Structure 1
Amino acid sequence: MTADDEFLRALETVLRDLRAQSAVQPDVREPEDDYPGVILYAPDGSGQGVYAWPDERRGVRLAEVADRAQEWAVEALWGEGEPAVWPHCPAHPDSHPLGATVVDGVAVWVCPRGDGRPVSVIGELPTV
């Protein structure tokens, strides 16, 4: 089974944010078995699956893909000796990453220490 088009669009949106703010980039591969998503490989060769089941609620699938890609990014950054923070919280530099959630049907990055207001729409993080 290969990843479906909606999942792949969500993944590409999240990868855009990863390219904008991460020193480590994944090698994205489709698995050889029936895994419903993709495998992200780090420079050290470790891999982690990323998937999200279809969901009728707007923004939920994109936020789930972002959350799973964030898990990969934090581990990959740590493995490379980089600060394990992605995406960067502009209000609290180098202290914690933003969190993926849905606000009013839109997948967004929010500061977990803030008031819940979006910092950025997922897919629109500024390049640092």
Structure 2
Amino acid sequence: MERELAAALEPILSDLGKPGGVQPDLRDEPWRDDPQAASAFLYASDGSGHGISIDLGLSAVKQIVTLADQVQDWAVEALWSLGHATNWPPCPQHPESHPLTAVVRADRAVWACPTAGTDISEIGTLGG
């Protein structure tokens, strides 16, 4: 797997491993035919797959946030297929309402409440 993709995935997969998350079957199956991109697939237990990718050369923070959004899309579908709550990662301020959103703040990749705009945690350091 491309080094930049693996590095950007590491904090996101750490958060996904916390309670309420779900672990993917990560496969090094490039699908973007672009030398300036790195891609792979995430598979759920039901066999469904979701392509993820980043543009190479972007800052690590932007790569993490871009990838977190894609992994979050996969997680919602995977959790739904398991019959679990799909608001991953859940917003601690509004746990029954919506998931957190990945954003760049002060050159950091963070999970934030999309309603209040409050930073909750740096991506890779979710509680659990």
Length-normalised TM-score, structure 2: 0.88
Question: Gaps (5+ residues) in structure 1?
Answer: none
More strand by percentage: 2
Aligned to 2:80: 78
Deviation at 1:37, TM superposition (A): 1.5
The aligned runs of 1:1-128 (5 Å cut-off) are 3-31=1-29, 36-57=38-59, 59-114=61-116, 116-127=117-128
Matched residue pairs, number? 124
Q: Greater CA deviation, 3-12 or 99-108?
A: 3-12
Deviation at 1:57, TM superposition (A): 4.0
Q: Output the amino acid matched with 1:11.
A: L
Q: Tell me the percent identity.
A: 43
2:41 match: secondary structure:
strand
Q: Output the amino acid matched with 1:46.
A: S
Question: Gaps (5+ residues) in structure 2?
Answer: none
Instruction: Tell me the alpha carbon deviations over residues 62-85 of structure 1, each in whole angstroms, 9 at most, x when there is no partner.
Output: 101111000000011111111111
Instruction: Tell me the alpha carbon deviations over residues 45-71 of structure 1, each in whole angstroms, 9 at most, x when there is no partner.
Output: 000011111244451111011110000
2:55 match: secondary structure:
coil
Q: Greater CA deviation, 21-30 or 39-48?
A: 21-30
Q: Greater CA deviation, 26-35 or 74-83?
A: 26-35
Q: Greater CA deviation, 72-81 or 34-43?
A: 34-43
1:17 match: secondary structure:
helix
